[in-house]
Chain A
């Protein structure tokens, strides 16, 4: 290998390691702080390992008003909305991928336009208001049922399935629904899994709709929104004062604002990070699934 090659390889490797460090460090750092005892954390200087171990922050977060409810709603919403929208998108994709469908181009255009022309925030709010969706759980599920983007990805995939399968089934008397449920869908498992995963992550992470439509309705708040409220109400700049007070009162194990923030953050991202290694291959194949034809 030429000397310039060796230099390049070394530099590139160093760069990649640095990249991984920069990506992972903040997450590991937050993890360390969350397990650290409050007063000690104020001093700063905690990096990858907690200095003084304490689970107090987690117990405080779990007992914070709203977090448990937010978690319940988020889990419920993720499961229900993902399954419902998967079914809705899949069925539409199926219809649009049937080559002989009479209104194929019209229906496609109808949905493609929705991708570019969006009513905007305020008309949407006004619409939801008149549909009485505000302040309910279903405002999270119903409006997002059909996403033209997902439909197009699934449609491309379904169009790649040979017609012969559909035709031979129809020769044996199968109707369109039978073809959809028993023939096409099983073959679409990869793309279903991918779309479902994207959808689930989106629902898990959403907070804005909770803020818009359920702000005063604590019953339907979401986990991320509760996290946001928590992070907002405790800024790290005030942490020093808090801990000083606690110390003077003789508390032994404390959790200060820093550690509480860290614990809340870790709890919120834990499910995603735990499932991530097992599911990440679906995410990658999903991006290329619609287009790269062998």
Chain B
């Protein structure tokens, strides 16, 4: 059986232990809740208290801040005295063509990213695995995940230089007579989403492929041998042995990333976006930022409402994905 990978493993492990039933006297991990045990573990308990306080402040208090989405929050009046307006802010969001467009952008770019990065990561992993020269394989792999460690500022700088009218892309396209004159890619609306997707691919393919490569190396060689005996060629082995063996890994990673489809849209869109392509480049996070930082037009409530919407949708997506995975008998998160 293919080894389960770390995200799936620790997640299911921790969640199952968290939800196991507690009997009256013993904890789920079989320890009696007695004064003696408490005294024995006092160091752990005292330190945990500090972690709980920290977690409450930095993780749970902002959650309580969701109430701002239901208020007409003003900095002067603060949380406790701002007027409560119920679902007004949400109504505004869902009737604003601005916001609808922003959600569309975020979702499309997120989905494109998810689909293509999964396909290319798997494809790259499978093809790289077919390279027999160990030394070459190592070099290619090392090179492939180098861009992952560069910041998006650096990558966007490189991308915008490459796509500029004096950059390499235009140069190549003109040389091969695909274009007659230089084309301003970054000022073109239809090209924005492909540019974002391709930039993600350039930056992350090698890195994303690592997990798949590790999974492939743990496939039982006997499966390949019996496939050879049955007369399978290289492609057939890839299709009938490698891919199905990768299925659990693919499912778990897809599951984890589906919840993020609305989240992966900020840095590159913010840096590369410009006035010309605004209608397709703005994402939910940029929209929220605008309401939080635009001097004259601050509306914390609106920004919070948009953020709440995004988080709720992410949770729904994760739960939905998990339910589907359960139904089809695949690996799941919980």
> Using a CB–CB distance below 8 Å, which chain A residues touch chain B?
2, 4-5, 8-9, 12-13, 15-16, 19-20, 22-27, 29-30, 33, 42, 44-45, 47, 91-92, 95, 98-112, 114, 116-127, 131, 142-143, 145-146, 152-153, 155-156, 175-177, 201, 204-208, 212, 224, 227-228, 231, 236-237, 239, 258, 261-262, 264-265, 268-269, 272-273, 276-277, 280, 283-284, 287-293
Q: Is A19 in contact with B20, judged by CB distance below 8 angstroms?
A: no
Q: Is A291 in contact with B127, judged by CB distance below 8 angstroms?
A: no
**Chain B: CB-nearest residue to A262:** B161
Decide yes or no whether B41 CB sits under 8 A from chain A: yes
Within the complex, what minimum Cβ distance (angstroms) separates A280 from chain B?
Answer: 6
Known: A26-B158, A120-B66, A142-B58. 13 other contacts (CB 8 A): A12-B127, A20-B139, A23-B144, A33-B161, A118-B62, A146-B51, A176-B43, A205-B153, A207-B153, A268-B151, A269-B151, A272-B149, A287-B211
Q: Is A105 in contact with B6, judged by CB distance below 8 angstroms?
A: no
Decide yes or no whether B37 CB sits under 8 A from chain A: yes
> Using a CB–CB distance below 8 Å, which chain B residues touch chain A?
3-11, 13-15, 17-20, 27-29, 31, 33, 37-38, 41, 43-45, 47-48, 51-52, 54-55, 57-66, 68, 79, 124, 127-128, 130-132, 136, 139-140, 142-147, 149-154, 156-162, 164-168, 171, 202, 206, 210-211, 214, 218, 233-235, 259, 266-267, 271, 285, 288-289, 291-293, 300, 303-304, 307-308, 310-311, 314-315, 318
Within the complex, what minimum Cβ distance (angstroms) separates B62 from chain A?
Answer: 2
User: A30 to chain B: which residues have CB within 8 Å?
Assistant: 157-158, 161
Q: Is B55 in contact with A272, judged by CB distance below 8 angstroms?
A: no
Q: Is A25 in contact with B68, judged by CB distance below 8 angstroms?
A: no
User: A289 to chain B: which residues have CB within 8 Å?
Assistant: 6
**Chain B: CB-nearest residue to A275:** B149
Kindly state the separation between the CA atoms of A236 and B48 in the bound complex, as whole angstroms: 53
User: A104 to chain B: which residues have CB within 8 Å?
Assistant: 17, 27-29
Q: Is B41 in contact with A176, judged by CB distance below 8 angstroms?
A: yes
Q: Is B166 in contact with A44, judged by CB distance below 8 angstroms?
A: yes
Q: Is B17 in contact with A155, judged by CB distance below 8 angstroms?
A: no
Q: Is A117 in contact with B311, judged by CB distance below 8 angstroms?
A: yes
Q: Is B55 in contact with A146, judged by CB distance below 8 angstroms?
A: yes
Q: Can you list 16 residue pairs at the A/B interface with Cβ under 8 Å?
A: A5-B233, A24-B143, A26-B159, A92-B51, A103-B45, A105-B17, A122-B300, A126-B300, A127-B57, A145-B54, A155-B10, A204-B151, A268-B153, A276-B149, A288-B5, A291-B4
Q: Is A205 in contact with B150, judged by CB distance below 8 angstroms?
A: yes
Within the complex, what minimum Cβ distance (angstroms) separates B281 from chain A?
Answer: 15
Kindly state the separation between the CA atoms of A20 and B131 in the bound complex, as whole angstroms: 14
Kindly state the separation between the CA atoms of A206 and B128 in the bound complex, as whole angstroms: 31
User: A44 to chain B: which residues have CB within 8 Å?
Assistant: 166-167, 171
**Chain B: CB-nearest residue to A239:** B166
Selected contact of A12 from candidates B11, B29, B130, CB within 8 Å: B130
Kindly state the separation between the CA atoms of A120 and B69 in the bound complex, as whole angstroms: 11
Within the complex, what minimum Cβ distance (angstroms) separates B66 from chain A?
Answer: 7
Q: Is A123 in contact with B131, judged by CB distance below 8 angstroms?
A: no
User: B124 to chain A: which residues have CB within 8 Å?
Assistant: 19
Chain A CB within 10 Å — which of B44, B47, B64, B292 has the most?
B44
Kindly state the separation between the CA atoms of A236 and B160 in the bound complex, as whole angstroms: 9
User: A287 to chain B: which residues have CB within 8 Å?
Assistant: 6, 210-211, 214
User: B7 to chain A: which residues have CB within 8 Å?
Assistant: 290-291
Selected contact of B210 from candidates A116, A117, A261, A284, CB within 8 Å: A284
User: A293 to chain B: which residues have CB within 8 Å?
Assistant: 3
Within the complex, what minimum Cβ distance (angstroms) separates B128 from chain A?
Answer: 7
Given contacts A116-B315, A123-B65, A288-B211, contact A23 B48 (CB under 8 A): no
Q: Is B14 in contact with A108, judged by CB distance below 8 angstroms?
A: yes
Given contacts A23-B202, A102-B37, contact A121 B292 (CB under 8 A): yes
Q: Is B151 in contact with A152, judged by CB distance below 8 angstroms?
A: no
Kindly state the separation between the CA atoms of A234 and B289 in the bound complex, as whole angstroms: 23
Q: Is B18 in contact with A109, judged by CB distance below 8 angstroms?
A: yes
Kindly state the separation between the CA atoms of A291 and B19 in the bound complex, as whole angstroms: 21
Chain A CB within 10 Å — which of B153, B310, B315 has the most?
B153
**Chain B: CB-nearest residue to A100:** B31
Name the 8 nearest CB pairs between A and B, nearest first. A119-B62, A123-B65, A291-B6, A120-B307, A290-B6, A205-B151, A123-B62, A44-B166
Q: Is A19 in contact with B150, judged by CB distance below 8 angstroms?
A: no
Q: Is A8 in contact with B58, judged by CB distance below 8 angstroms?
A: no
